[in-house]
Amino acid sequence: MIVSCDPEVGQLAELVGISPVWTDRQFEDLRQRTTQHGFKVDPDAMDLVQLNEFLQERRDFLLRQLKNSSILEHEVFTALLRVTLHVAEELGYRPSLGDLPELDLQHLSGDLRRVHALLVRQWIDCVRLLKLSYLYLFSLAVRVNPLKPDSSAIVEN
């Protein structure tokens, strides 16, 4: 949902042309290049009601993950959980998500940018680990790359 609201997702998709022959160095270079991406989120393109429903349905699960000591050892993932829960709280406190003032939309956009950036970096790290240990899962992850609008699970070549 967030990726589809990034007006510069095309530039991001160009960065993420991961393939089975990638080396650790290429993954590290990609991760470094994503730190330079702006990670914008157009608040007008975001369906805040749908996002709120999605997050509220999963809120208890996300909170339980924060209590898991094994997960807390992974700082980036813990940060992702925290900012995601923050967005859930922000959306949950608003009596209505329609017709929000422009300043509030910009505030929510900033929160969503943080989620977007951490989520992409976490996805890259996950795909990198899949390549090392689970090639069949890696293959699927590359084919359904959420950063590429035309991605498909169908194996074509």
- Band the pLDDT of 14: cuts 50, 70, 90: low
Predicted confidence (pLDDT) per residue in 66-120, tens digit: 888 877 677 888 999 999 999 999 999 999 998 899 999 999 999 999 999 999 8
Separation of alpha carbons 29 and 156, rounded Å:
28
> What DSSP string runs through 3-35?
GGG-TTHHHHHHH----TT--HHHHHHHHHHHT
State what percent of residues in the chain have pLDDT above 90: 48
16-to-19, 71, 79, 118 alpha-carbon distances in Å? 9, 26, 22, 15
Q: Is a pLDDT exceeding 80 seen at residue 52?
A: yes
Confidence at residue 80, expressed as pLDDT on a 0 to 100 scale = 93
Give the residue, 63 or 15, on which the prediction is more confident. Answer: 63
Going by C-alpha positions, the residue among 46, 25, 53, 14 that lies closest to residue 113 is 46
- Cβ atoms within 10 A of the Cβ of 110, count? 11
Separation of alpha carbons 109 and 46, rounded Å:
9
Q: Give pTM, 2 decimals.
A: 0.86
Q: Is a pLDDT exceeding 90 seen at residue 145?
A: no
Show me where the domains of the chain are located. Answer: 3-143
